[in-house]
Amino acid sequence: MSILKRIYVLNGLLIISAVLIAVILVKHMWAQQSLYDKINHLHVPTISYTDKLIATLQEIKYTIKYNKINDETIADIYDNAVFSIESYISVINDLAYQFPDTATEQALLRLQEEVAFLVAALLNHTDLDNIVQYEYLSTIVLSTFIRAEQLNRLHKNANENLHNQLADGDKDNVDLLIKLTFLALLFGGVLIFPLLESIRGMVQSLQNSERQQRKLKESAELERSRLRALLSAMSIGVLFEDKKRRIAFANPAFSQLWSLDTNKSLIGLDVNNLLKQFLHRFVFLEQYSQHIFQVMDRYEVSERFEIDFDDGRTLTQFSFPVLDADESLLGRLWMYEDITHERKTAQQLLYLAEHDPVTGLYNRHRFQKQLTFMINAYQRNSNKFALLYFDLDEFKFINDTFGHGVGDSVLLRTANEISVLVRGIEMFARVGGDEFALIAALGQSDDVSALPVRIISKIASIPFRFRNTNLRLTASVGVAIYPEHGNTVEDLIAHADTAMYQAKNHGKNTWSIYDPGRSHPVQMVNRMNWSRRIGQALEGDHFELHFQGVHHIEERKLSHFEVLIRMRDPADPENLIMPGAFIPFAEKNAQIVEIDRWVLDRSIALLALYPELPTLAVNISGRSFDEPSLPDYINGKLNHYGIMPTRLIIELTETETVSDLHDAQRFIEAINQAGCRICLDDFGSGFSTFTYLKYLKVEILKIDGEFIRDLPNNHENQIFVKAMVNIAQGLEKLLVAEFVEDAETLQLLQDFGVQFAQGYYLGRPVGQEDMLQQQGIT
């Protein structure tokens, strides 16, 4: 039965019960009032007659006691007694008849006997002078008085019995009332208890629902406040339009990006009208406006779109429709972000990835891409082009004598002067320290010698004066022709480089075209030979890693290992070639980048294979600074093997870092973002100032070994080392001393404040198996 039906039935039962109870109660009250009236009618005379009888008896007692009785008195007493007794007996009889009671009837009989005796005594009294008779009469009167009192109490009991009779007389009615009420409640309970349970469940459910709604409302208000605060604090502009294209919400960033008054509300404005106010500020008006209005018409998720403004700013636009739970359209959300800085940064990074930061020319990476493109393009049309390689003669002397700052100025001046000679279709690049390369198309009538001659003449005419010293610059130029001297990037570069060394062998300040029949200089033969051997070692896995420990000086325990590379000679497996023999040639031939990656890959894999292995420090060459992808390569390898970046230290040499400071800064910043630490190797080897340290975020400085050898006996080196310690402490950087070969040097370094040491005294470089065995790693 439903709750409403139960309520209707219950109400009907309650109404019927109420009517029955009211009828019974009225009847009961009427009967009770009638009985009360009858009792009062009988009770009042009874009390009156009882009082008169008692007074008469008391008068008899008093008269007899004081001997004041006479005939007249006797007659009065007799009349009064007889009248009272007769009246009393009449009332009692009437009361006993209407309300029979055993105790009342017995008391009446006894009273009648005694009253009859009293009357007889009064009627038969002849000798008033006899005192005994008076005493007897007094006793009788007293007894009668007592009996009268008892009768009065019996009357009261009879009155109480009347009330009981009233209750008994109404018992049937009361029972009926109780039964009806009980049946009503019983039948109603069958309905009301489930009803009450249902109501209780409903009330509890409503209460729970209210609490949940209240919590949800509070939570929604909290989330709404958070969202409002978040949207207000965002730098991304957010606008929500309703179905009628009226603005329902816009955060402050939106107004700022669109140069609107942030204190003025946009709520309720038409989006189309607002947009039309800014169309004239778009750089590409027709393209942008057409795209925006198409997106608004389709009500679909839009692609990210860039909008260029006439003030140089660029905003990205993204929008999507907002639907409710029933997939009905509520409106559209628009998001705008100012990417001006990001675009400029991306352009700058792209520029740095392809340009040399010192001269502004293309770097080696971009140059090789262009050379590959030229070879592919000229293969199809059978045309020729020339590759020119040249460097500055005795440039190392300038760097070593006047410092890297002066050397950078020389490179920049050279690049600017030669750029004037380069045509728009030609490419000019800096490919190494003082090495430059130029790609020039050759027509059938072009003279191959014209351009190298102009280059040599231009460089020689550049005036340089430093510290009251006039410097005369010269250059050696080598030329290789495609496809005569090679049809691959490697062959062309190698042959142009060979030609450059042939020019140097002819006295420098000249040029030479590659001639395969001419004898090669010894340097060139060695260079080509090592290039071949390095290539074979990379392909045949003839490189191997060795490890030398770096120790805490104060605690005398291992901190980490430096990873060193060795080459195993395929022709003589017992011959272990040290890096000093092949690294310079690898740097010249651009093979050093491959070697760097090989060492990185093997080192990171080793860290993954042996989690208990200490941190490894890997050396990276300066040529790798030109590789924008190398930091990503390192980060990708760490993520692939699941290695904590702090377990890898990247070592860079000071000389290469300072000579290519801009690339080094970019590379170091990228490595720091990857989470690895940076160590600056050979610290102090060529310094004239430590100012550059302010711009390099390195954590560790490794003092060049030339300052550590014979440190106890070299006072000047002690002064330099103390200065380096002061600088490192001031910049909060750690110091490592290499080439520590005795206890006296180690103690002196500890006294100076150097934290770490490396050298033969603490441990020689060992192969991988020996290193793992020393560490107890299996």
pLDDT value for 397: 82
E strands, 175-267, in order: 237-242, 247-250
Q: Identify the burial level of 201 via C-beta atoms within 10 angstroms of its C-beta, where 0-12 means exposed, 13-18 middle and 19 or more buried.
A: exposed
pLDDT surpassing 60 at residue 47:
no
pLDDT value for 125: 46
pLDDT value for 116: 54
pLDDT value for 433: 81
pLDDT value for 763: 94
pLDDT value for 745: 96
Please give the residue that has the higher pLDDT: either 268 or 167: 268
Start and end residues for every CATH 3.20.20.450 domain found in the chain:
531-774
pLDDT digits (tens, 9 = 90+) for 321-360: 888 888 888 888 888 888 888 888 777 767 777 888 789 9
CB atoms closer than 10 angstroms to residue 677: 20
CB 651 within 8 A of CB 620: yes
Question: What is the C-alpha to C-alpha distance for residues 744 and 737, in angstroms, rounded to an integer?
Answer: 13
The CATH T-level fold of domain 363-518 is Alpha-Beta Plaits (3.30.70)
The mean per-residue pLDDT over the stretch 81-107 comes to 58
Start and end residues for every CATH 3.30.450.20 domain found in the chain:
234-338
pLDDT value for 264: 84
Angle at 318 between CA 314 and CA 323, to 5 degrees: 160
Q: For residue 79, report the phi and psi dihedrals to the nearest 5 degrees.
A: -60, -50
User: Which ranges constitute the DSSP H helices of 651-767?
Assistant: 654-659, 661-674, 715-730, 743-752
Question: What is the C-alpha to C-alpha distance for residues 91 and 85, in angstroms, rounded to an integer?
Answer: 10
Please give the residue that has the higher pLDDT: either 572 or 514: 514
Start and end residues for every CATH 3.30.70.270 domain found in the chain:
363-518
The lowest-confidence range among 6-10, 90-94, 124-128, 425-429 is 124-128
pLDDT value for 187: 53
pLDDT value for 664: 81
Long-range contacts formed by 551-554: CB under 8 A, 24+ apart: 551/756, 551/757, 551/758, 551/762, 551/763, 552/755, 552/756, 553/746, 553/749, 553/750, 553/754, 553/755, 553/756, 553/757, 554/750, 554/755
pLDDT value for 53: 56
Q: For residue 652, report the phi and psi dihedrals to the nearest 5 degrees.
A: -125, 140
The lowest-confidence range among 357-361, 642-646, 687-691, 713-717 is 687-691
Structural tokens at position 116: 């009859």
Q: What is the pTM of this model?
A: 0.46
531-774 domain in CATH 2.40.50.140?
no
Please give the residue that has the higher pLDDT: either 38 or 651: 651
pLDDT value for 659: 60
pLDDT value for 698: 92
pLDDT value for 291: 66
pLDDT surpassing 60 at residue 119:
no
The mean per-residue pLDDT over the stretch 479-490 comes to 91
CA atoms within 13 A on the CB side of 481: 16
pLDDT value for 429: 95
CA atoms within 13 A on the CB side of 501: 17
E strands, 246-363, in order: 247-250, 305-308, 314-323, 329-338
> Helices 661-674 & 340-354, crossing angle to 10 degrees?
120
Alpha carbon of residue 671 to chain centroid? 26
The mean per-residue pLDDT over the stretch 287-308 comes to 69
Give the right CATH number for 234-338 from 3.40.50.2300, 3.30.70.1090, 3.30.450.20, 2.60.40.790: 3.30.450.20
Of the pLDDT bands very low, low, confident and very high (cuts 50, 70, 90), residue 164 is low
pLDDT value for 82: 58
Please give the residue that has the higher pLDDT: either 491 or 144: 491
- Pick the most confident of 194-198, 299-303, 445-449, 639-643: 639-643
Question: What is the C-alpha to C-alpha distance for residues 707 and 721, in angstroms, rounded to an integer?
Answer: 7
pLDDT digits (tens, 9 = 90+) for 207-235: 777 788 888 888 878 877 887 787 777 78
Structural tokens at position 703: 């003092």
pLDDT value for 292: 67
- From 285, 298, 295, select the one nearest 334 (Cα to Cα): 295
pLDDT surpassing 50 at residue 103:
no
Question: What is the C-alpha to C-alpha distance for residues 507 and 530, in angstroms, rounded to an integer?
Answer: 25
pLDDT value for 428: 96
pLDDT value for 186: 54
Contacts of residue 594, defined as CB under 8 A and 6 or more positions apart, other chains included, come to 538
Of the pLDDT bands very low, low, confident and very high (cuts 50, 70, 90), residue 601 is very high
Of the pLDDT bands very low, low, confident and very high (cuts 50, 70, 90), residue 543 is very high
pLDDT digits (tens, 9 = 90+) for 383-425: 899 999 999 988 888 877 777 778 888 999 999 999 999 988 8
User: Which ranges constitute the DSSP H helices of 71-170?
Assistant: 71-98, 102-123, 131-169
Of the pLDDT bands very low, low, confident and very high (cuts 50, 70, 90), residue 555 is very high
pLDDT value for 577: 92
The mean per-residue pLDDT over the stretch 118-135 comes to 46
pLDDT value for 135: 44
Start and end residues for every CATH 1.20.120.330 domain found in the chain:
3-181
pLDDT value for 275: 76
pLDDT value for 142: 45
Query: What Å distances lie between residue 651 and 221, 231, 293, 601, 670, CA to CA?
Result: 54, 44, 55, 15, 14
Structural tokens at position 726: 């002061």
Question: What is the C-alpha to C-alpha distance for residues 462 and 498, in angstroms, rounded to an integer?
Answer: 26
Question: What is the C-alpha to C-alpha distance for residues 573 and 444, in angstroms, rounded to an integer?
Answer: 52
Share the mean pLDDT of the chain: 78
pLDDT value for 227: 75
Question: What is the C-alpha to C-alpha distance for residues 661 and 358, in angstroms, rounded to an integer?
Answer: 8
Query: Cα-Cα-Cα-Cα dihedral of 630, 542, 574, 583, to 10°?
Result: -40
pLDDT surpassing 90 at residue 317:
no
Task: Write the DSSP string, 624-666.
Answer: GGG-TTHHHHHHHHHHHHT--GGGEEEEEEHHHHHHTHHHHHH
Of the pLDDT bands very low, low, confident and very high (cuts 50, 70, 90), residue 746 is very high
The mean per-residue pLDDT over the stretch 733-746 comes to 95
Q: Identify the burial level of 611 via C-beta atoms within 10 angstroms of its C-beta, where 0-12 means exposed, 13-18 middle and 19 or more buried.
A: exposed
pLDDT value for 102: 47
The mean per-residue pLDDT over the stretch 14-31 comes to 66
CB 479 within 8 A of CB 496: yes
pLDDT surpassing 90 at residue 303:
no
CB atoms closer than 10 angstroms to residue 408: 19
Question: What is the C-alpha to C-alpha distance for residues 26 and 14, in angstroms, rounded to an integer?
Answer: 18
The mean per-residue pLDDT over the stretch 32-46 comes to 55
CB 740 within 8 A of CB 761: yes
pLDDT surpassing 90 at residue 616:
yes
Give the right CATH number for 3-181 from 1.10.3720.10, 1.20.120.330, 3.40.50.300, 3.40.50.460: 1.20.120.330
CB 485 within 8 A of CB 492: yes
pLDDT value for 574: 83
pLDDT surpassing 60 at residue 123:
no
pLDDT surpassing 50 at residue 196:
yes
Contacts of residue 105, defined as CB under 8 A and 6 or more positions apart, other chains included, come to 96
The lowest-confidence range among 8-17, 564-573, 702-711 is 8-17
* Stretch (H or E) spanning 224: helix 171-233
pLDDT digits (tens, 9 = 90+) for 648-677: 999 998 767 766 677 788 889 999 999 999
End-to-end CA distance of the chain: 81
The mean per-residue pLDDT over the stretch 287-296 comes to 64
